[in-house]
């Protein structure tokens, strides 16, 4: 059985820096070797779209008050479950991914999360901070390496 890989880019286009994942998806258009999913939902809606894949790299923004805006953070599903951000839905993305892994058995073998630190979003708008805009290219480069090498995102 061949591996089916996806880079799942999440974001909200009207919440400023939270659009990070959607911008990365645009940068990745035309990447060979993996499906690029650009999604604005979260939680179970996203997890259900991952059923056909054996390896998944989730790209999103993570709201934090600590750390530098634009800094890339690599997380596992377990680490995501204990962090803030990447959620905001009735069922968090971490909970949905854990449920999906239980339901899919060996089918979904690997889920990695590559997130960009942003400050908590307090207003609507499409403006992207310079630090987050700069991180888009860096994240896309790391995602391409993940696809080409078939390796976890950690330490890319």
Cα distances from 65 to residues 68, 83, 89, 120, 139, in angstroms, run: 9, 12, 20, 7, 21
Question: Is residue 22 in some structural domain?
Answer: yes
What is the predicted pLDDT for the residue at 107? 56
Residue-wise pLDDT tens digits, 85-109: 444 434 566 667 776 666 666 555 6
Residue-wise pLDDT tens digits, 33-67: 799 999 987 777 888 888 888 888 999 998 888 88
What is the predicted pLDDT for the residue at 64? 83
- Total domain count for the chain? 1
Q: What is the pTM of this model?
A: 0.82
CATH number of residue 99's parent domain: 3.40.50.1450
Question: Is residue 13 in some structural domain?
Answer: yes
Question: Is residue 29 in some structural domain?
Answer: yes
Question: Is residue 154 in some structural domain?
Answer: no
What's the rounded mean pLDDT across residues 129-141? Answer: 96
């Amino acid at each position: 059985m061949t591996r089916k890989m996806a880079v799942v880019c999440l974001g909200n286009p009207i919440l400023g820096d939270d659009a990070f994942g959607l911008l990365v998806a645009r940068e990745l258009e035309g990447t060979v070797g993996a499906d690029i999913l650009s999604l604005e939902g979260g939680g179970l809606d996203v997890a259900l779209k991952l059923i056909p894949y054996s390896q998944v790299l989730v790209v999103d923004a993570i709201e934090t008050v600590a750390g530098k805006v634009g800094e890339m953070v690599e997380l596992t599903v377990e680490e995501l479950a204990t962090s803030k951000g990447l959620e905001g839905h009735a069922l968090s993305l971490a909970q949905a991914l854990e449920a999906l892994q239980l339901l899919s058995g060996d089918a979904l073998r690997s889920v990695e999360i590559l997130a960009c630190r942003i400050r908590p979003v307090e207003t609507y708008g499409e403006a992207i901070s310079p630090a987050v805009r700069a991180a888009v290219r860096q994240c896309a480069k790391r995602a391409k390496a993940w696809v080409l090498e078939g390796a976890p995102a950690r330490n890319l």
